[in-house]
């Protein structure tokens, strides 16, 4: 009996999930693992889903998602990006940003096609590309550059097999935010070499220290070659609802919609109504959550600065920090393993995000200030005891 397809063989367990699963079996653990907002979903959004269920919205919907949701997405994208997408043909609701990315890979990648990804990277990108038989081509982004692509290095990585350039800004796991000039250079390269760009913008609201979000889709010649991926998960604390979207050229969106019929048929229907409320309803809960993330980040950076042998380049976006542990004498894996075993604090070893992650561990600060304080009291005791 054959038990392993090529896709299954190409897929490895997520290093984030590995630590998360370990942490969830322990009591009294402080977990800085998954990128999951700890806030409840704002009540107006929950109420919209309840209303939809009561009104009988319990059936399959169109594969692309209900039109009012796609219209709300198109309006929101016009406001944020100044770009118009046709809700009927250029927008698709997906099962989280994750599914938008997977459907894009399924729609665009043939075996042997190359996809350029930054290293450190979010592991799912590599998993998705490999599952489609594609080849992830990793381009290092360095701590001293704020973990942002060096366009010259990206240019060197382009070959005749390059199909997609994947841009994730603000980034997971680094918190790096690409500036306008870097994005302009990447956009010019994409036009020159006829690349598709996938712009994963799920953290675009999470910005600090005056950082500005710019979408690569807005540069000349990019609207027609870029797929914007966004999600409700992080922005509206809706990870468990599973809804996101993709917007971009119609031909590919049409193929993604076709593929969706064989994958999930559609996003959960009540969730789609909740998502409309998220975009059209009050943005005040979002504003309050963003304010709290900024406070947590300040607290976390202060805690790291207070511990000798630890350091951190202040992340400009998202809700992750890559903490440098190289002066502790431990490598990332040993640091994370010993920290959870000895002090019940879970972090993700940087090597789970690629070779460039050695010497770093990732902390998600989507957790309360109280837990950040307690976690760092333990981390301090751990490092001092080494
Ligand atoms: N993109 C990045 C960079 C992420 O970190 C995540 C989640 O961790 C996603 C996309 C997808 O999230 P979701 O499928 O919940 O929208």
Distance 112 CA to ligand 1 centre (A): 25
Looking at residue 183, what is its pLDDT? 98
CA nearest ligand 1 atom 7, residue: 35
The string of pLDDT tens digits covering residues 255-300 is 999 999 999 999 999 999 999 999 999 999 999 999 999 999 999 9
Which contacts of 233-236 are long-range, i.e. CB under 8 A and separated by 24 or more positions? 233/37, 233/96, 233/97, 233/202, 234/35, 234/37, 234/202, 234/203, 234/205, 234/206, 234/319, 235/202, 235/205, 235/278, 235/286, 236/41, 236/42, 236/45, 236/278, 236/285, 236/286
Distance 232 CA to ligand 1 centre (A): 10
Looking at residue 52, what is its pLDDT? 98
Looking at residue 57, what is its pLDDT? 98
Q: Which of 93, 169, 173, 231 to mutate to test the pocket of ligand 1 (most atoms within 8 A of CB)?
A: 231
Ligand 1 nearest atom to the CA of residue 99, by list position: 14
What distance separates the 2 farthest-apart alpha carbons in the chain?
A: 60
Ligand 1 nearest atom to the CA of residue 244, by list position: 16
Distance 230 CA to ligand 1 centre (A): 8
Fold: same for 6-41+284-384 and 43-280: no
The values of phi and psi at residue 363, to 5°, are: -120, 130
Q: Where are the beta strands (DSSP E) in the chain?
A: 30-31, 91-94, 114-119, 135-140, 162-168, 196-200, 226-231, 244-247, 311-312, 320-324, 345-346, 348-349, 360-364
CA nearest ligand 1 atom 4, residue: 172
pLDDT of residue 324 exceeding 90:
yes
Domain ranges of the chain: 6-41+284-384, 43-280
- Mean pLDDT, residues 358-382: 96
Looking at residue 143, what is its pLDDT? 86
The string of pLDDT tens digits covering residues 19-76 is 888 888 888 999 999 888 999 999 999 999 999 999 999 999 999 999 999 999 999 9
Extract the tokens encoding 353.
């995000």
Residue 117 near residue 106 (C-beta atoms within 8 A): no
Distance 127 CA to ligand 1 centre (A): 13
User: What is the Cα–Cα distance from 271 to 277, expressed in whole angstroms?
Assistant: 10
Class of CATH domain 6-41+284-384: alpha beta
Tell me the three state secondary structure of residue 135.
strand
Distance 202 CA to ligand 1 centre (A): 6
Distance 206 CA to ligand 1 centre (A): 13
CA nearest ligand 1 atom 3, residue: 172
Ligand 1 nearest atom to the CA of residue 100, by list position: 14
| DSSP result, 265-311 | SSS-HHHHHHHHHHHHS--HHHHHHHHHHHHHHHHHHHHHHTSTT-E
Q: Which residues line ligand 1 (CB under 6 A)?
A: 35, 96-98, 122, 168, 172, 200, 202, 231, 233, 239, 244
For residue 267, which of 21, 44, 93 has the smallest C-alpha distance? 93
Looking at residue 55, what is its pLDDT? 98
Extract the tokens encoding 365.
């600060």
- Mean pLDDT, residues 308-322: 96
pLDDT of residue 13 exceeding 90:
no
Indicate the fold that domain 43-280 takes in CATH.
Answer: 3.40.640
Looking at residue 356, what is its pLDDT? 86
- Using CA atoms of 113, 230, 117, 362 in order, give the dihedral in degrees to the nearest 10: -140
Ligand 1 nearest atom to the CA of residue 171, by list position: 3
């Amino acid at each position: 009996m054959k038990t392993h397809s090529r896709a299954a063989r190409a897929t490895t367990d997520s290093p984030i999930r590995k630590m998360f699963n370990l942490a969830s079996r322990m009591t009294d653990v402080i977990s800085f693992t998954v990128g999951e907002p700890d806030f409840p979903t704002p009540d107006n959004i929950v109420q919209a889903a309840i209303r939809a269920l009561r009104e009988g919205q319990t059936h399959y919907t169109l594969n692309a998602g209900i039109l009012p949701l796609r219209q709300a997405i198109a309006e929101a994208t016009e406001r944020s990006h100044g770009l118009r997408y046709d809700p009927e043909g250029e927008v698709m609701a997906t099962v989280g940003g994750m599914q938008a990315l997977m459907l894009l890979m399924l729609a665009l990648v043939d075996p042997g096609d190359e996809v350029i990804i930054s290293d450190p990277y979010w592991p799912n990108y590599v998993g998705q590309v490999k599952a489609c038989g594609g080849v992830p081509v990793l381009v290092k982004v360095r701590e001293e550059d704020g973990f942002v692509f060096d366009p010259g290095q990206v240019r060197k990585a382009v070959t005749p097999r390059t199909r997609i350039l994947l841009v994730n800004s603000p980034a997971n796991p680094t918190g790096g935010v690409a500036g306008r000039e870097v994005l302009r250079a990447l956009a010019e390269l994409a036009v020159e070499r006829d690349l598709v760009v996938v712009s994963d913008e799920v953290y675009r609201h999470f910005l600090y220290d005056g950082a500005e979000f710019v979408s690569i889709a807005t540069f000349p010649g990019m609207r027609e070659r870029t797929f914007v991926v966004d999600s409700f998960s992080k922005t509206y604390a809706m990870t468990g609802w599973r809804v996101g979207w993709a917007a971009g050229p119609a031909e590919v969106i049409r193929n993604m919609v076709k593929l969706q019929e064989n994958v999930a048929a559609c996003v959960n229907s009540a969730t789609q109504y909740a998502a409309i409320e998220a975009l059209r309803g009050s943005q005040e809960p979002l504003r309050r959550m963003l304010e709290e993330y900024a406070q947590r980040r300040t607290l976390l950076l202060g805690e790291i600065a207070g511990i000798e042998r630890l350091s951190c380049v202040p992340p400009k976006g998202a809700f992750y920090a890559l903490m440098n542990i190289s002066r502790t004498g431990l490598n990332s894996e040993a640091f994370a393993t010993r920290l959870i075993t000895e002090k019940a604090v879970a972090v993700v070893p940087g090597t789970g995000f690629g070779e460039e992650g050695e010497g770093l561990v990732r902390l998600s600060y989507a957790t309360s200030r109280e837990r950040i304080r307690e976690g760092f009291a333990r981390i301090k005791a751990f490092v001092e005891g080494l």
